[in-house]
Amino acid sequence: MQQLLGLIEAYGKSCRASTAPASDALYAEICQFLKLHPMSPAVSLPIDIRDTASPTVASMLAVWQGSVQSTPTLARHLPLDRDPGPAVRFAHATTHTAWVGFALGMRAAARLR
């Protein structure tokens, strides 16, 4: 567990320092440690957020994209290029992971009353 935490910490530092080759190598090492198989230069969560509850995907997406665009650090690190198709899937794995986390958090918050 300590080894995994060390890898994740090093990965975070290399991402913040924008050292892409080091980040990619550390990411591959984390995937290997967790026995994940990268599908692309970065593994994307195989999760789609669908309209089954409130708030809607469209409303969450508008808020989330607005937040990313208006925050310089997020805008620099989370490209908003989307994969074609009806589902909200971002081309960059980190962006997609951040979107899924935001959407799941919004849905969970909506259930807390």
Cis, bond preceding 55 (omega within 30 deg of 0) = yes
Tens of pLDDT along the chain (113 residues)?
A: 566 667 667 766 666 666 556 666 766 676 666 655 444 445 555 666 666 667 888 899 999 999 999 988 888 889 999 888 788 888 888 888 888 889 888 888 887 75
Burial classification of residue 51, based on how many CB atoms lie within 10 Å of its CB (0-12 exposed, 13-18 middle, 19 or more buried): exposed
Among the listed residues 16, 105, 35, the one whose alpha carbon sits nearest the alpha carbon of residue 63: 105
Domain ranges of the chain: 2-33, 57-111
pTM above 0.85, yes or no: no
Rounded CA separation 19/10 (Å): 11
Phi then psi for residue 108, to 5 deg, are -65, -40
Distance CA 68, CA 71 (A): 5
